[in-house]
Structure 1
Amino acid sequence: MRRAALLAVASILFIGFAVDPAMAQDTSLASSLEGSLTSRSIQIFLLLTVLSLAPGIAIMVTCFPFLITVLSILRQGLGLQASPPNMLLVSLAMFLTFFVMEPVFTAAWTEGVTPMLEEQITAEQAFERTVGPFRIFMSERMDPDTYLALAALRPDAAATLPGPDAPLSVLVPSFMLSEMARAFQIGFLIFLPFLIIDLVVAAVLMSMGMMMVPPAIVSLPFKLSFFVLADGWSLIASALVRSYF
């Protein structure tokens, strides 16, 4: 009896769907809407993830690591621990980065972001076009030996050559390591004059028998005056910027 009732209900439902195609259409429409909402949620989640990683990405693929490393070594060479403060050094490095990278940002926006906003290309094509100018910038500053050393660690990338078409997973760390190595080379040249002043002041204090006086305290005014008279900030900033052009 119960089985007969279930069969009757199933028959009525089947007849109702067959007779009323609008109901079936509403069901398929609801399913499509649910699928579109799910895909839109995934897109929003991915967008928020990219935005949260944007500061790290900006540091990895621009000249910011090189600039902030050189400026930090300069402050250490002057013998100043907290002046200029970290916020000032980071701000200066950020604006110098914007000055150097503005053509790259403009090209990436024009070639990738603008066509995507105008719905002329897909998101995948926009990503490739946006990354293209950064690939060219990184490949021009990258040390080929560093790239080959990292590529040899991966069997699938060992046959690739350093260039704009290299895999990002190898290109980005090669670029960062090359920038850090170059920053330490320039930092050594910047640190050397201040080291000579420290050695001269230490030798003078030793000859005068003032062994209890810290040489760093006495040499600090001489280093500051030497740096200010040479217009050090302008010279270093202009030299760092010219190294990218």
Structure 2
Amino acid sequence: MPTMQLTLGAGQTEPEKVSLLLEILFMLTVLSLAPAIMLTVTSFTRIIIVFHFIRQALGVQQLPPSQVLASLAIFMTVVIMMPVGKQINDTALQPYLEERIGFNEALDKAQAPLRTFMFKHTREKDLSIFYAITKMEQPRTKEEVPTVMLAAAYVISELKTGFTIGFLIYIPFLVLDMVVSSILLAMGMMMLPPMMVSMPFKLLLFVMVDGWALLVGSLVNSFAV
């Protein structure tokens, strides 16, 4: 049987070793928070909101399953964030692994592409809300905006954008529900649920226009603006 021994020794006093231990602790913290970071500073939030809206609009409560939608959203997030990830790898990760730059410099360079992406999709109004809450002085340049505050404003902007896209998606299916309901009422079939009759037509419409390809393409293009 394998054995394991634990030993207690004096604390590290050399600055280099203390710095290395702090870097390891920071990396472990980042890895533990990786799911939360992915949900907040990437395109995942908008995509998953729109996917749930389209499922509600179609009237199929459990199809596709939530696991399938989440998996598709993750893959789309990887594709959309690939240019940002490549830039972080080229400017921060690889130079740090090759010991050409220090940890703090690598961290600053890694934030730059991500901050650029978030600024592109963050509204100034959402950012000003957090400055009003914290009573901080309004920044004069983008460099003065803390990354944490930018991430919070980015999430709010993504929530509004996702709900806006979901509302626009809902309108055609809502019109189809109203048409079917009016036809059933005119025929005197008041006991027949309109949703049951309209769902096959909504599915047929969604398949005929190649809805998934159209939806995925539109979502990806919305981040290219």
Under a length normalisation based on structure 2, what TM-score does the superposition of the two structures give?
0.89
> How big is each residue's C-alpha offset from its partner over 1:207-226, in whole Å with a ceiling of 9 and x where there is no partner?
11111111111110000000
Match of 1:235 among 211, 214, 219: 214
Match of 2:72 among 76, 92, 100: 92
When the two chains are superposed, the root-mean-square deviation of aligned CA atoms in Å is: 1.9
Match of 1:35 among 5, 8, 13: 13
In structure 2, what is the equivalent of residue 103 of structure 1?
A: 83
User: Which 4+ stretches in 1 moved above 2 angstroms?
Assistant: 33-47, 161-165
Distance apart, 1:40 and its partner CA: 4.8
User: Which structure has more helix as a fraction of its residues?
Assistant: 1
Give the 3 Å change call, closer, same or farther, for CA 162–77 of structure 1 in structure 2.
farther
Give distance in 1, aligned partners of 2:30 and 2:158.
24
Give distance in 1, aligned partners of 2:46 and 2:174.
22
Once structures 1 and 2 are overlaid, which stretch shifts more, 161-170 or 209-218? 161-170
* In the alignment, structure 1 residue 224 sits paired with structure 2 residue 203: yes
Give distance in 2, aligned partners of 1:239 and 1:211.
38
Flag structure 1 segments of 5+ consecutive residues without an equivalent. Answer: 1-29
In structure 1, what is the equivalent of residue 172 of structure 2?
A: 193
Give secondary structure in 2 for the equivalent of 1:153.
helix
Given that residues 139 and 164 in structure 1 are in contact (C-alpha distance below 8 angstroms), is that contact kept between their aligned partners in structure 2?
Answer: no
Distance apart, 1:205 and its partner CA: 1.1
Distance apart, 1:35 and its partner CA: 3.1
* In the alignment, structure 1 residue 123 sits paired with structure 2 residue 123: no
Match of 1:69 among 32, 49, 58: 49
Under a length normalisation based on structure 1, what TM-score does the superposition of the two structures give?
0.82
Give distance in 2, aligned partners of 1:243 and 1:73.
17
Give the 3 Å change call, closer, same or farther, for CA 90–183 of structure 1 in structure 2.
same
Match of 2:30 among 37, 50, 53: 50
Give distance in 2, aligned partners of 1:97 and 1:34.
41
Give distance in 2, aligned partners of 1:93 and 1:162.
33
> How big is each residue's C-alpha offset from its partner over 1:68-123, in whole Å with a ceiling of 9 and x where there is no partner?
11111011100011100111111111111111111000001111111111111111
What amino acid sits opposite 1:180 in the alignment? L
- Count of equivalent residues: 214
Given that residues 148 and 161 in structure 1 are in contact (C-alpha distance below 8 angstroms), is that contact kept between their aligned partners in structure 2?
Answer: no
Distance apart, 1:44 and its partner CA: 3.2
Bigger CA radius of gyration: 1
Flag structure 2 segments of 5+ consecutive residues without an equivalent. Answer: 1-8
What amino acid sits opposite 1:225 in the alignment? L
Distance apart, 1:169 and its partner CA: 2.2
What amino acid sits opposite 2:134 in the alignment? R
What amino acid sits opposite 1:83 in the alignment? L
Which structure's relative contact order is higher, taking Cα pairs within 8 Å and 6+ residues apart?
Answer: 2
Give distance in 2, aligned partners of 1:40 and 1:239.
45
Distance apart, 1:38 and its partner CA: 6.0
Distance apart, 1:164 and its partner CA: 5.2
Once structures 1 and 2 are overlaid, which stretch shifts more, 146-155 or 59-68? 146-155
Give distance in 2, aligned partners of 1:162 and 1:171.
13
